[in-house]
């Protein structure tokens, strides 16, 4: 066991503040990583403030968009070597034997261990995430980051990237399809870049008219301000696929009505309050509504390799960890372009 600097919150009402946490010693299959950057996901905020009702365990050290450098490996590690730039996303372990793990879909494993706030089998207590200077992770859950990608801007690929990649691959997003992305935040802007990368016709739905130009330069073909009923009406019945990334309560029926026959809307945004679904929005047109959770490890690597090949990363605002509480407030007012990435070197002064 060794000590690492980190930022944690002690309750749903507490700000994040400096702390020291224990990390396990490097086991046979473990990789020790010096964390360079960690993205700030809206899920971090939902969890810190206990908004999902699951009973967040405190103290919590959030962070699941980790990019760092390997500093030590266990004797049985074959995937990574000291000095490699690697990534860790939302999971750090799973049982490897259940049907989901065998299908490469570790995110659905009933025994998966999340990067933070999951029971920690080795140290007891709960796992601590990436708002920290260092982490130790089983090599299976550590992915390679292509060398042409800037670490700070690659970090958000580990959650925002894979969470938008996975459902678009599952639903076959490709050239010739019309794809909607609802909400231009961290997930949304990655959804736009990836859907554009797949060759789809991409339409962004935003509540923020000032994001219009950005949406177009990120790769959208059209932008609709969702508060404008006329603009929405023009898109009725025309989408093959819509990815909803909104973090707060909103009218989902307005988007279901935009799907063509057999179109699908996938929710990745996870608002704390249940959404009301009008039966006829699905019945008429045999439309479907589904959800999607991050992605498996193999597909995370596939996504990173695709991003390496096509030079795709997040648009980030790099912040020192000392600005994290301010960053959370800005997330709540949709005021981030388009992902905060924490420079972990800033922990040195703590
Ligand atoms: P984010 O950066 O805060 O972006 C969310 C966007 O939603 C905002 O930028 C805003 O876009 C839009 N929005 C916010 N409030 C709204 C409202 N009241 N009505 C309509 N639109 C609103 O958050 P994020 O990090 O992308 O995460 C988005 C959601 O996905 C969160 O709930 C998060 O927990 C969830 N998530 C799920 C998974 C998964 O595996 N399924 C993984 C990661 C995150 P505009 O300004 O363009 O309207
Ligand atoms: Zn996330």
Q: What is 299-314 written as a DSSP string?
A: HHHHHHHHHHHHT---
Residue 230 CA to ligand 2 centre (angstroms): 33
- Using one digit for the tens of pLDDT, what is the confidence trace for 156-199? 999 999 999 999 999 999 999 999 999 999 999 999 999 999 99
Residue located via tokens 């648009």: 315
> H or E element: which one contains 40?
none
Q: pLDDT tens, 25-39?
A: 999 999 999 999 999
Burial pattern 173-195, b for ≥16 Cβ within 10 A else e, equals: beeebbbbbbbbbbbbbbbbbbb
Give counts: helices (H), strands (E), the chain: 11, 17
Q: Which residue of 47, 65, 183 sits with most ligand 1 atoms within 8 Å of its CB, as the best mutation to test the pocket?
A: 183
- Tell which one of 163, 227, 245 to mutate to probe ligand 1, the residue whose CB is within 8 A of the most ligand atoms: 245
Contact criterion met (CB below 8 Å) for 41 and 159: yes
Q: Which atom of ligand 1 is least distant from the CA of 268?
A: 41
Distance, CA 161 to ligand 2 centroid (Å)? 9
**Which ligand has the minimum distance to the alpha carbon of residue 250?**
1
Q: Which two tokens stand for residue 283?
A: 């019945």
Q: What is the DSSP letter of 201?
A: E
Q: Give dist(CA 48, CA 133) in Å, integer.
A: 19
Please give the Cα distance from 286 to 97 (Å, whole number): 36
DSSP 228-273: -HHHHHTTTT-EEEEEE---S---SHHHHTTEEEEEEEEE----SS
Q: Which atom of ligand 1 is nearest to the CA of 160?
A: 43
pTM for the predicted model, two decimal places: 0.97
Pairwise CA distance, residues 313 & 190, whole Å: 8
Residue owning the nearest CA to atom 23 of ligand 1: 42
Per-residue pLDDT of the chain (350 residues; tens, 9 = 90+): 999 999 999 999 999 999 999 999 999 999 999 999 999 999 999 999 999 988 999 999 999 999 999 999 999 999 999 999 999 999 999 999 999 999 999 999 999 999 999 999 999 999 999 999 999 999 999 999 999 999 999 999 999 999 999 999 999 999 999 999 999 999 999 999 999 999 999 999 999 999 999 999 999 999 999 999 999 999 999 999 999 999 999 999 999 999 999 999 999 999 999 999 999 999 999 999 999 999 999 999 999 999 999 999 999 999 999 999 999 999 999 999 999 999 999 999 99
- CA 59 centroid distance within chain: 22
Q: Are β-strands 316-320 and 339-343 bridged in parallel, bridged antiparallel, or unpaired?
A: parallel
List residues near ligand 1 (CB under 6 A).
Answer: 41-43, 46, 159, 163, 183-188, 206-208, 211, 245-248, 250, 268-270, 292-294, 331, 334, 336
CA 249 to chain centre: 19
């Amino acid at each position: 066991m060794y000590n690492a600097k980190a930022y944690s919150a002690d309750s749903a009402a507490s700000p994040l503040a400096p702390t020291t946490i224990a990390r396990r010693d490097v086991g046979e299959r473990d990789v020790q990583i010096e964390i360079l950057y960690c993205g700030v996901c809206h899920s971090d905020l939902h969890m810190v403030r206990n908004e999902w009702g699951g009973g967040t365990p405190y103290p919590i050290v959030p962070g699941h968009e980790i990019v760092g450098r390997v500093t030590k490996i266990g004797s049985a590690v074959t995937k990574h070597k000291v000095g490699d730039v690697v990534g860790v996303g939302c999971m750090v372990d799973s049982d490897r034997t259940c049907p989901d793990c065998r299908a490469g879909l570790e995110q659905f494993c009933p025994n998966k261990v999340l990067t933070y706030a999951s029971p920690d089998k080795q140290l007891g207590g709960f796992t601590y995430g990436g708002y920290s200077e260092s982490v130790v992770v089983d090599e299976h859950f550590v992915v390679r980051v292509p060398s042409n990608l800037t670490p700070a801007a690659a970090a958000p690929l580990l959650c925002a990237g894979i969470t938008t990649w996975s459902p678009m691959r599952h639903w076959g997003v490709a050239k010739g399809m019309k794809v909607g992305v609802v909400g231009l935040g961290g997930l949304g802007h990655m959804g736009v870049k990836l859907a554009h990368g797949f060759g789809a016709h991409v339409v962004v739905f935003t509540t923020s008219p000032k994001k219009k130009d950005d949406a177009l330069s990120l790769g959208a073909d059209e932008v609709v301000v969702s508060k404008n009923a006329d603009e929405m009406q023009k898109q009725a019945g025309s989408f093959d696929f819509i990815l909803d990334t909104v973090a707060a309560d909103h009218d989902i029926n307005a988007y279901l009505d935009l799907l063509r026959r057999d179109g699908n809307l996938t929710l990745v945004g996870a608002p704390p309050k249940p959404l009301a679904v009008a039966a006829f929005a699905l019945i008429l047109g045999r439309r479907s509504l589904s959800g999607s959770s991050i992605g498996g490890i193999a597909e995370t690597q596939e996504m990173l390799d695709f991003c390496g090949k096509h030079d795709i990363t997040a648009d980030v605002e790099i912040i020192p960890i000392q600005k994290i509480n301010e960053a959370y407030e800005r997330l709540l007012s949709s005021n981030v372009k388009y992902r905060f990435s924490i420079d972990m070197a800033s922990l040195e002064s703590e």
